[in-house]
Chain A
Amino acid sequence: MKIKYMDMIATLGIGGAHPGGLTITKHIVENLNLSTTAQILDVGCGTGQTLAFLAETKSNPLFGVDQHPVMIQQAKERLQGYHNVTLHQANIENLPFPKAYFDVILSESVTAFTSIQQALNEYARVLNDDGVLVLIEMTANHLLTEEEQAEIEQFYHISKLLTEDMWCVAIEAAGFNRISVRTIPEELENIVDFELRPELEPTHLELMATHYYLIDKYQDSLSARVYYCKNK
């Protein structure tokens, strides 16, 4: 099997694999003003870094879903002992939860890697009417050429690179009509809070080299946005 970007992240055991890392996660959670009973879902929870932070500071019912077997296994190991955390290996476009089950859904650089509209529709289904959806997602600052889009989409295995306007249209189409968008300060975007494991294979290093090449090449064209979405 050809190793992809996401497999590299999984193999390397990278925790906060999203722009802003745990720092932006903490910032977002602080600003949500959570009640102690709010049910929180971290879609694409990866190795569970965000859930571990929440579990250490909150008694809320916490849920995590990831489709990558290596990541969900690492999350299970990291979070064993926390009785308020439930983890599922599942597809984000088909969540194993009933309608209106959650008060908060977090997607930290996850939705961009899925069938975006399907995933957003699914979040809308499992989120209750007063709930809030927070997305941190790769966003094109302007329309890129087809070649540039293809280069990014192929390396990261994303179906469609979206601009901020395109994200907002997709989010609205899923039924959210209040969207507020924030950028991530550059000094936070480059925070790398993980330990790389020494047992890297040549393929991982090649992927790292191409990944670095792409973030450098597209540093003015791509950036992360935080989308706060509510449906009333």
Chain B
Amino acid sequence: MQINKEKKIKEIDQEIEKLKELEKREKISLDDAINALMERKKSLLNKLDFWDRVFLARHPDRPYTLYYIENMFAEFTQFHGDRLFGDDLSMITGFAKLDGIDVCVVGHQKGRGTENKIERNFGMPHPEGYRKAARIFKLADKFNIPIITLIDTPGAYPGIEAEKRGQAVAIAENLKLMFKLDVPIIACIIGEGGSGGALGIAVADHIAMLENSVYSVISPEGCASIIWRDASYAREAASNLKITAKDLIELKVIDHIIKEPAGGAQNDPRLVYDTLKDHLKNIISELKDKENLKAQRIEKFRRLGIFK
């Protein structure tokens, strides 16, 4: 939701608190007033539009990949580096246990606080990030370990060094590679699904989105500055692009939506990782004995496209 909407809700919460204190202190009943405020809050929360969701997907307190890893899995063992150039800290890769099941986990990682944000490059990988992911995908495939990817990036980094080291090649090769893996791949967009940078680890047998995440071919700002030649048309661009979980399930681009608590994942992260964990367990058990996963994955993506 937008900042002013979030502020309003906080103010209502504070008011409710005050009224409750008053009730205790003065031993009177203020139920009517409190209920009225609750209703107002509810109606604000129910009216989340696509632009609120862009705000929530980028919310500074939104849980990031490592948070989910720490809370959903046991024995997480991180692997570093692409064995070609370096270790990209905006991409996390490793193995872990999901209630006893071995899984491979790959995800974008954003930072919190200026220093950490820069260290994680705002969740925007360089080619070595995608190549690290590729290396770990192959490792998982070799030892028959299902892959879970968590997507949260504004996009792959657009810079001189990234171009020199082949950003386009790195992403393209991941796309093809992911159609060659025999193990199940399950993807979940947990925040921002930014274009090719997201897709580079999001080719999967099953794709879920958190309710307030977004997934788009281009950021609303980028689209606005290209098409309208003015980034301030971002809202208009977002409305045209159709980037919410609800839009994407209608287009059959994703398979499932994970509910979030009122006002966004940051309000009750535990509820979100519990739901996501159950979902992942269900899908893994559904996919683990399926034959011909690779062919079905290709077929799933072949069907995507609308034309006449």
Q: Do A and B come from one complex?
A: no
